[in-house]
Structure 1
Amino acid sequence: MNAAYLSDLVSAWHDFDWREREAQLNADSHFIADVAGAGIHFVHLRSARIGAPALLVMHGWPHTFQLQLEFAHLLPDFDVIVPSLPGFAFSEPYDGTMTESVMAELMHRLMTETLGYDRYLTYGEDVSANVSDLIAAAYPSSVQGILATHAHFGTDAERARSTDPAARAFFDRLAASGGPDGAYGHVQGTRPDTLAAALNDSPAGLLAWIAEKLVEWSDTPSGQPHLLERRISRERILTEAMFYWATQSIATSFRPYFDEGEPAPIPPVEVPAAVAIQRHEHDYPESVARDFYRDLRSFDRLKEGGHFAVAEVPHEMARRMRDFARSLDLLP
C-alpha cells in the first residue's frame, strides 16, 4: 500500500453509490441457515439444468463471498453455493473454537443436511483451501471432486521431513518470506482484538489493511498497487471494505488465525482432484500434489491470477471447473 493509492480509494469510498451496489448484490438469492447453532449466510445460484452438479465455493481472508460471485455466475450449468464463513460478513461467529476442522464440518453439513445434496464438488482459497482439503478427505463419499489453486502444503513437521529437492526449495522459499511478509498473520493470531479495535474505529485503516492484502497477494506487479484493479475492480474492493465496516466483523474474521494454532495433519485426499497452481505459488512442485491428492486428474499452473484466483481470472477458472466436471462425467 502507498499513500497515493490509499487516498484515491478513500475518496472513491466516500463517493461510492452503495445503494446501487446493494441492489446488484440483492439480485442474487441470499439465505441464512442454522447450521450446528451458527447462522450461516450463503448465496444459492440454482441451475435450470436438471441434475446439475452442486459446487461449494469458499472464500478466505480478507475476501468475502462477493469476490466469488462473478465466477459463480459463469457456471449456469451448476448449482453453485457461495457461503460466508462463520464470523465473516453476514454469517454469525461460531460459538466455540473456530478451527479448520470445524469449518469443514459446518460447510459439509450446510451442503448435505441443510441443502440436501448427496454429492458435490468443492473449491476453496486461502483459509478455505485447507477446509476444502479437509472436506474431501473427511467426507469422500459425498465429495465428487476437488479443484485446488492453493494445493496442499502440509504442516511444518511434514515439510521438514520432505527429502524431495524441489519440495525443499519451495518450502524454504515460503519460510524465508514468512518473516517479512507474515506480520499481519502474527498480529491477527496473537492480538486480534487490539487490532480489531483500531480497524473498527477507522474506515481508512480498515480499507488499508484489506486492500494491502488484495494488492500483495493478487497477480499485481510489485510497487504498483493501483494495477490491482486490472484483476479486481474498484467496486469489488470497496464492497469488501463496506461489508467489514457495516457488519463490524473484522474481529471475528481473525478467529481462524487465533483459534487454529498449529494445524493438525490432513489425511491424503482420495477423491478426484484437479490442481491449477496460482501465480504466487508458481514453484509448487507437482510431486507434493501427487503425494497428497491420490487421484490427481490434472496438474498445471495458471498463466495469470494470484491468491484470489476465481476473482482475478473468473473466466479461466470457470473453464477449468467445467472441464473438470466433464472429465468426471458430471456435465455433457
Structure 2
Amino acid sequence: MEFRHLGNSGLKISEITYGNWLTHGSQVENEVAAQCVHAALDAGITTFDTADVYANTIAEQVLGDALKGQRRESLEILTKVYFPTGPKGPNDTGLSRKHIMESISGSLNRLGTDYVDLYQAHRFDYATPLEETMQAFADVVRQGKALYIGVSEWTAEQIRAGHALAEDLGIQLISSQPQYNMLWRVIEEEVVPASEELGVSQIVWSPIAQGVLTGKYKPGEPYPEGSRAAHEESGHFVEKYLNDEVLRAVQQLRPIAEDQGLTMAQLAIAWVLNRPNVASALVGASRPEQIASNAAAAGVTLPAETISAIEEAVGHLAQTDPSLTASPPERLA
C-alpha cells in the first residue's frame, strides 16, 4: 500500500480508502462486513470512510465494531454529516450548528472513538449560513472531536468560500470527496484547479462507476444476479451508465487492462490515482476477496500510451459538465 498527503496537511492516508456506503448495515451481513474490514487491514489499508446517513447510522456502528482492538493511532477514520438521520425530524438534517454538534457526538459513540481524523460536510446546505456551518466545524475541531475538515460534492465556488472561512477560523479544510471515474469527470474543469490552488485534494468515490468499469455489464445482456444494477435500492445510482454505447466502449478497456496485467477494476482505480489532485480512491466490497484485488491498484503507474488508449476508448463518452458537481438545492428531509 502507498500513502499520500491529504491536501496541504501533514495527514497521510492510504491510496485506497475502504468505504461502507450501500453495504454495511444493509446489503451485507455484519459478519461479512467485519471480514471485509479485516481484509482491508490485511491489504495495508488504514483509511476508512463512512457517514451517519449510511443505513441510518448503522453503518458507523458496524465499522466501529469491526475496528475494535485495532491501534487507533494507526487508522484514519472519516465520517460525514448532512443527510437526514434518526426519525428525520426538522433538525435531523443539514449543516446547522445544532445538527453538526449532535451528529458528531452520535458518530463518535457509534464508531467507538474519541475523534475522527476527517469530518466532512456530505453536501452543501443552502438553508444554513455558511458562516454558521464553518463555526460549528471549528468548534468540533477545537473540542478535539475531529482533526481536519472536508467536504463532499461541493462546487469550486463553495469550496473557495468554505476554505476562506476555515482559514479565518484557524482550522484546516483539506479535502473534497466527489464522484470521479473514467466516465464521470465533472470535477476536472473547475473543482480540481480550485483545489490545487487552495491545498485541497480529492478522495474520490465510485472510481469503478458503480461496477460498470469492471466490464461485468454487457451490452444487450441481463444484469448479473446480485449486481448493483439488479438491486432495487441501489440500481438508480448506476443507471446513467447503462446504455449500450457506454457498455460497448467499456469492453474496449479489457485488452488495455490485460496489457498492463491488471483487472478492469484495477485499471479503473489506477486511472483515478494517476489523475491530478487525487489523494485516494474510495472502494467498497461485499466480499473480502474484492478488497485484496482492488488494493493491488495502489502504486500502479500507467504509461502515457495506456492513458491515451483509455481516452480513445471511453473519453468521448465521459460526462464533463462542471454544473453537475452540485448539492441538492434544498435540504433532503
TM-score, normalization: structure 2? 0.30
Higher helix share: 1
Q: TM-score, normalised by structure 1?
A: 0.30
